[in-house]
Amino acid sequence: MPELLAKYRGKYAVVGGGEVQGIFDSLEEAYKHALERFGIDSRFIIQRIEEERVEYFSPTHVLGLDAVQLS
């Protein structure tokens, strides 16, 4: 994290498969990249790079509602 803070403070990291997959200027750019790379059914994290950790998540994903098939 110290290396990321030094170079990318305030930006957003997409993490998937245990590795940083990309660094982005906005949450929207990070989310778009994550969906394109992993798809809606995969698990990934979008983390803002700052000393105090702030996590962004989809409540529908946490509740498992993104995997529900509606008829």
pLDDT at residue 69 greater than cutoff 80: no
Give the pLDDT band (50/70/90) at residue 53: low
pLDDT range class, residue 66, cuts 50, 70, 90: low
What pTM value is reported for the model? 0.68
pLDDT band at 20; cut points 50, 70, 90 = very high
Tell me the residue length of the chain: 71
Q: Decide if pLDDT at 25 tops 90.
A: yes
Q: Which two tokens stand for residue 60?
A: 């529908």
Say yes or no to pLDDT of 1 above 90: no
